[in-house]
Amino acid sequence: MHEDAFFVPMTWTDTFYLAPEFILAAVFLLLIVLDLFLPKRVSRLTFGWLSLAAIIASLVVVILRMIDMNQGGISTEAIQLLSNSYRIDDFSSLLKIVFLSGTALVVLLALGSERDESDITDKAEYFYLLLPALIGAMIMASSGNLISLYIGLELLSITSYVLVGIRRKSLLSAEAAFKYVITGGISSAMVLFGMSYIYGITGSVDLGVIGAALPQALIDFKALAYVGFFFMLAGFGIKIAAAPFHAWAPDVYQGAPTPVSAFLAVIAKGAALAAIFRILFSTKLFNAGGDAFAANDIFFALLVLAAAAMLVGTTTALGQKNAKRLLALSGVVNAGYLLVPIGLSFTAFHSNNFSEFIFYLIVYLFMTIGAFAVLTIVSRAAGHEELKGFAGMYYRAPWTAVAMLIFILSLAGLPISGGFFGKLFILLGAANAKAYWLVAIMVISSVISYYFYFGLARQMFMRSGNDDREIQISGCTGAVIWICAAATLVLGIFPGPLMHWIDAVFTITGDLWINMNS
């Protein structure tokens, strides 16, 4: 197929629409220059505060743009930049809000734990390298074609490799970085290989053109379509650490600094999930016509991947004694939950996939970053990251133990927590789509997870530790813990307003379907 869209140069108006990304990029370049010329005696904590300020400024611009696009509750048409290579729509704006908020909490956590990271020699890089990684995640959320999506993926990946290995004096960090580079390279190669097949059978990298050509391509090149989509799903499956592509996650999370592990668990995972969502629904695969069996097989493969992640993640975590590795495996399980709304596709009985997906992603952000924040103070007090370090925590830091209990309840999916409603919405969506086998697997995996989640609670409240001294908590880390705990509770008590707002601003036709005439 001939490519209809020609190169369109960027205008000043376009740069205004790209202000959130440009703010982060400008501050990133500024901080690099400052790091080169400022004397070593100047505290590098300043770089963390400047990075946080840039993220907050970018977040404000995204929110203001989204409000402007939804005046009176009616969403305007998506803004298409560079011949639809980049899209400003409610899908991307909601995800950018999640990514920016999550990264702001990660930077705040890094500020609170910076003094404990003696193995990090380049403290300034520890903060400002999060900015290009965040830009990569935002590009993935807004991409309108496969090339811009891959650029965002590589920007996120390459920066993450450096962040994982930033503890240069730690052999564990070096091992984690090496493993992450190898698996990340394999993932990128698989994604690019799959994209090349999709381009080959449709003649375009534009998601709108691909959607128009896909019905006939599924008839004429069915086998090649399978190869293309399955390779992309496998590549992104590695990025989100979904079983059986999850083996790297416990080692990498354990070797990386804890704030970096939190970034990988939430932002990097969320960006890859957003890319899957964008590719499958912008190309209208669920409504592609042609060979409907091929489209059904692709979505079914996603559900199988989700089921495997939930079962393998929970069973592997049963014997885990390291807290950070346990949280990595918890991320594997939650990757499975987040894949379910995508894999269910749109049907007459199930049409609120995105609201289920984004609600649980928001809940997952708060409960996961909060749990990592508690881990930073426990590991500093105990001198290790084993689960036994939580022993007697209630007697040494009672309110922090209560906050961790909130995160545990949410991760386990029990009432009065955001995780309960997040999992409930996804489970009801699967039931409405008549995927009862998946409902059974979700219930089974949740029941299994109670064992290791409440093993952690048992350590805090029913075990006595060897040290009776009060645990010291920095102001930044305490702020992260209580912001996350409060948000988790609020979303568990009042989930309705957020769900209704998401449903009000997002429409699949306005935000994901690409109008080729515009």
Residue matched to tokens 């989509």: 229
Confidence at residue 348, expressed as pLDDT on a 0 to 100 scale? 52
Q: Could you tell me the CA-to-CA distances from 171 to 102, 130, 183, 259, 359 in Å, in that order?
A: 28, 22, 18, 18, 38
Confidence at residue 2, expressed as pLDDT on a 0 to 100 scale? 44
Tell me the C-alpha distance between 370 and 414, whole Å. 17
Tell me the C-alpha distance between 19 and 21, whole Å. 5
Confidence at residue 291, expressed as pLDDT on a 0 to 100 scale? 64
Task: Provide the residue count of the chain.
Answer: 518
HSE, side-chain direction, 13 A CA sphere, residue 177: 19
Residue type, 71: Q
Q: Pairing between strand 79-81 and 86-88?
A: antiparallel
Report pLDDT digits (tens) over 135-173: 999 999 999 899 999 999 999 999 999 999 998 888 889
Instruction: Provide φ and ψ at 416, rounded to 5°.
Output: 60, 35
Give CA angle at 179 (178, 182), nearest 5°: 85
Confidence at residue 161, expressed as pLDDT on a 0 to 100 scale? 95
Cis-peptide, bond into residue 244, ω within 30° of zero: yes
pTM attached to this predicted model: 0.94
Confidence at residue 4, expressed as pLDDT on a 0 to 100 scale? 46
Question: Is residue 429 packed enough to be buried (19+ CB in 10 Å), middle (13-18) or exposed (0-12)?
Answer: buried
Question: Is residue 301 packed enough to be buried (19+ CB in 10 Å), middle (13-18) or exposed (0-12)?
Answer: middle
Cβ neighbours of residue 304 closer than 8 Å, sequence gap 6 or more: none
Residue 332's CB is within 10 A of a number of other CB atoms, namely 27
So where are the chain's domains? 17-511
Measuring CA to CA, which residue among 321, 162, 334, 179 is closest to residue 257?
162
* Residue 93 · residue 58 · CB < 8 Å: no
Measuring CA to CA, which residue among 187, 166, 370, 387 is closest to residue 269?
187
Measuring CA to CA, which residue among 460, 441, 456 is closest to residue 318?
456
Q: Which residues of the chain have pLDDT under 70?
A: 1-10, 72-76, 118, 288-291, 346-351, 465-468, 514-518
Residue 178's CB is within 10 A of a number of other CB atoms, namely 16
Tokens, residue 420: 């309960």
Q: Which long-range contacts (CB under 8 A, 24 or more apart) does 62-69 make?
A: 62/20, 62/93, 62/96, 62/97, 62/100, 63/97, 65/17, 65/20, 65/93, 66/90, 66/93, 66/94, 66/97, 66/505, 69/93
Residue 185's CB is within 10 A of a number of other CB atoms, namely 13
β-bridge partners, 79: 88
Taking every pair of Cα atoms in the chain, the longest distance, rounded to a whole number of angstroms, is 72
* Residue 260 · residue 163 · CB < 8 Å: yes
Confidence at residue 515, expressed as pLDDT on a 0 to 100 scale? 57
* Alpha helices, H only, 70-169: 90-113, 123-128, 130-142, 146-164
* Alpha helices, H only, 165-221: 171-202, 207-220
Confidence at residue 419, expressed as pLDDT on a 0 to 100 scale? 93
Tell me the C-alpha distance between 179 and 156, whole Å. 16
Report pLDDT digits (tens) over 375-402: 999 988 888 889 888 888 888 888 999 9
* Alpha helices, H only, 344-474: 353-382, 393-396, 398-412, 418-432, 436-462
DSSP state of 209: H
